[in-house]
Structure 1
Amino acid sequence: MGRGDLSDEEWARLEPHLPANRGRGGRWQCHRRVINGILFRQRTGLPRRDLPPRFGRWKTVHDRHRRWLVGGRHAGENPAAVQADADAEVRIDWSVVSVDSTTCRAHQYAAGASTRAPKIPGRRRRPARHRFDEALGRSRGGLTCKIHLAGESGRRPLGFVITPGQWGDAPQMIPVPEEIRVPRQAGGRPHNRPDHVGGDKAYSSRRNRRHLRRRQIKHTIPEPRGQRANRRRRGSQGGRPTGFDKTIYRRRNEVERTINRLKNFRAVATRYDKRAYVFHGTVTVAAVRLWLSPE
């Protein structure tokens, strides 16, 4: 086992959720070796063609990654299975879930994606379904994209959304919690509603607070000075002051530490993928690795 590869304990958690080791023309290459190759590329950010020989053919690693991206049914590209195991073991803290975002610089090779639909190995090319901007935005620093995520106290992401770098945080306060869908092993509806949601003042808006109240989710979001002045100026029509719990707000650092753990993967800290759905899969693989970690 090389540095950064899956340990025996982590592999025991992941293996039951992977497809049977049988391909169309025979047996697939060892899942563990291929997944270690995917993780090596995630950790180092090197081109897939430069993978060390111990992971097998680079194209095998590339094709397996793409096939699972399109399917999204296995734990290799879908964290729901390993999240369900963690929930069954009571390793998920639903008391407070914080939301935050981070900007990722995009490499120059990540630009210029074709508007045609990507060619998936073993499948016919379909009409273009992905956004033309591919979740890339321009700023003074160049091309950027943004990851909006919800994290729990164990420094692991429960759900995330990829947007262009210039998009604001407040409009993503509703889509990000909707990405939280942890299946229950005993059956029934998935667990998708935390007890409390925290965020910084960038997420403060009437629309967001109304949505959280409708879902019966308590929230701790500070009100910016301008919104407070506007509410007071309107008098009784401005509504009641928003509640604020300093103790819960201090826990917002948990999602910031979750972002730091995700950005330990160089392929996440710097976007090298042209397609938005490929970069989404890159972040998903990093999230799965964090859920497999015993920490």
Structure 2
Amino acid sequence: MGRGELTDKAWTRIEPLLPPVESGGRRWRDHRQVINAILWKLRTGAPWRDLPERYGPWKTAHERLRIWTADGTWQRILDHVIVKDDSVGNVEWTFSIDSSNVRAHQHSAGARKKGCTTEWVEHLALDGEALGRSRGGLTSKIHLAVDGRGLPMSVILTPGQAGDNPQLLPLLDQVAVGRDGPGRPRKRPGRVLADKAYSHPSTRTALRHRKIAFTSPERSDQIARRAAKGSRGGRPPAFDTGLYADRNVVERCFNRLKQFRALATRYAKRAAYYRTEIIIAAIVLWLRTGLQDTA
């Protein structure tokens, strides 16, 4: 086993979720070898064509990434490891939310207009492949929700110039942690921690309707607007600095994700594949933590 490759325990966890090696009259190249090839690509950020020979043909690894992106295999693996971790009471249902901009390499531009089929892939394609142009060049923005330990629960990809606040509710809508047994999936955290970018009255109202506690400092313009109304402005929203200090877990999660060099700089032309790379890195973080907790 090389550095950064799947451990035996991690492989045992995800192997049952993958298609049979022999199916439809054809035999797939060993799944573990291909996944290790993808992990090498994520860790180094190198071009596909530079894949070491021990991982097999680079086209095989890239094709497996494409196929399992289209059929949702990567997302199912992430959902599975979260469910298994939650079944032993490890998921901490205080979420922290934030975003991070990522510089896009010049090779990430120029994707064809067609070629993807799934609904959410088409949405990303219609959104200009989640590439935005500013004075700093091409950028994408990762919007992330993490649990109390700083492990990814949901991710959204937008162009770099997109605002943060409009993505808070969609991030929460993506969360659906199934039970390791009967029962409906859990979709609602107990509390959300976020910075001033998410401190909008409409957001506070929406979370209040969902019965989700919200901890976020007010922006100065909101404070001034309320003060100008006098008694009609109402009381300021409750804010606990002790709880807010725990929001740093989302920043630490971004740091851990960007240790994968292919995530720190975006090289993928397709936003769908770049999002999949984030999902794969999230799977690795969950497996590392979950296997340590059960060791």
- TM-score, length-normalised on structure 1? 0.92
CA deviation profile, 1:122-149 (whole Å, cap 9, x unmatched): xxxxxx6631511100111100000010
Q: How many residues align?
A: 287
* Matched residue, 2:244: 249
* Matched residue, 1:233: 228
- In the alignment, the residues of structure 1 paired with residue 97 and residue 244 of structure 2 have an alpha-carbon distance, to the nearest angstrom, of 11
CA gap of 1:132–1:225, structure 2 versus 1, over 3 A, is closer
- In the alignment, the residues of structure 1 paired with residue 76 and residue 245 of structure 2 have an alpha-carbon distance, to the nearest angstrom, of 32
CA deviation profile, 1:133-181 (whole Å, cap 9, x unmatched): 1110011110000001011232211001000000111111111111212
* Matched residue, 2:96: 98
1:60 paired to 2:55: no
- In the alignment, the residues of structure 2 paired with residue 176 and residue 9 of structure 1 have an alpha-carbon distance, to the nearest angstrom, of 30
CA gap of 1:241–1:188, structure 2 versus 1, over 3 A, is same
Q: How does 1:42-61 map to 2 (within 5 A)?
A: 42-61=42-61
Q: Which amino acid aligns with 1:113?
A: A
Q: Which amino acid aligns with 2:288?
A: S
- In the alignment, the residues of structure 1 paired with residue 87 and residue 128 of structure 2 have an alpha-carbon distance, to the nearest angstrom, of 39
* Matched residue, 1:123: none
CA drift at 1:75: 4.4
- In the alignment, the residues of structure 2 paired with residue 105 and residue 264 of structure 1 have an alpha-carbon distance, to the nearest angstrom, of 15
* Matched residue, 1:36: 36
Following TM superposition, the consecutive aligned residue runs of length 4 or more in structure 1 with deviations greater than 6 angstroms are none
CA deviation profile, 1:196-241 (whole Å, cap 9, x unmatched): 1000111000111011101100010100111011012123433331
CA gap of 1:49–1:77, structure 2 versus 1, over 3 A, is farther
CA deviation profile, 1:55-98 (whole Å, cap 9, x unmatched): 111111111110000000x347641111111111222111x210
Q: Quick one: percent identity of the two aligned structures?
A: 48
1:108 paired to 2:68: no
- In the alignment, the residues of structure 2 paired with residue 166 and residue 131 of structure 1 have an alpha-carbon distance, to the nearest angstrom, of 16
Query: Residue 143 of structure 1: SS of its match in structure 2?
Result: strand
Query: Residue 293 of structure 1: SS of its match in structure 2?
Result: helix
On the 8 A contact 1:78/1:284 being kept in 2, the answer is: no
CA drift at 1:192: 1.4
CA drift at 1:19: 2.1
CA gap of 1:117–1:236, structure 2 versus 1, over 3 A, is farther
- In the alignment, the residues of structure 2 paired with residue 64 and residue 111 of structure 1 have an alpha-carbon distance, to the nearest angstrom, of 22
CA drift at 1:190: 1.4
- TM-score, length-normalised on structure 2? 0.92
Stretches of structure 1 that go unaligned for 5 or more consecutive residues are 121-127
CA drift at 1:17: 1.9
1:79 paired to 2:81: no
Query: Residue 252 of structure 2: SS of its match in structure 1?
Result: helix
Q: Which amino acid aligns with 2:56?
A: G
CA gap of 1:58–1:260, structure 2 versus 1, over 3 A, is same
CA gap of 1:132–1:106, structure 2 versus 1, over 3 A, is same
- In the alignment, the residues of structure 2 paired with residue 292 and residue 220 of structure 1 have an alpha-carbon distance, to the nearest angstrom, of 29
Q: 2:212 aligns with which of 213, 217, 233?
A: 217
- In the alignment, the residues of structure 2 paired with residue 163 and residue 155 of structure 1 have an alpha-carbon distance, to the nearest angstrom, of 21
CA gap of 1:54–1:77, structure 2 versus 1, over 3 A, is farther
On the 8 A contact 2:150/2:249 being kept in 1, the answer is: yes
Q: 1:165 aligns with which of 134, 148, 160?
A: 160
Q: How does 1:118-157 map to 2 (within 5 A)?
A: 118=116, 130-157=125-152
Q: 2:176 aligns with which of 155, 163, 181?
A: 181
Query: Residue 126 of structure 2: SS of its match in structure 1?
Result: coil
- In the alignment, the residues of structure 2 paired with residue 249 and residue 264 of structure 1 have an alpha-carbon distance, to the nearest angstrom, of 25
Q: Which amino acid aligns with 1:109?
A: H
Query: Residue 224 of structure 2: SS of its match in structure 1?
Result: helix
Higher helix share: 2
- In the alignment, the residues of structure 2 paired with residue 93 and residue 67 of structure 1 have an alpha-carbon distance, to the nearest angstrom, of 32
Stretches of structure 2 that go unaligned for 5 or more consecutive residues are none
Q: Which moved more, 1:132-141 or 1:232-241?
A: 232-241
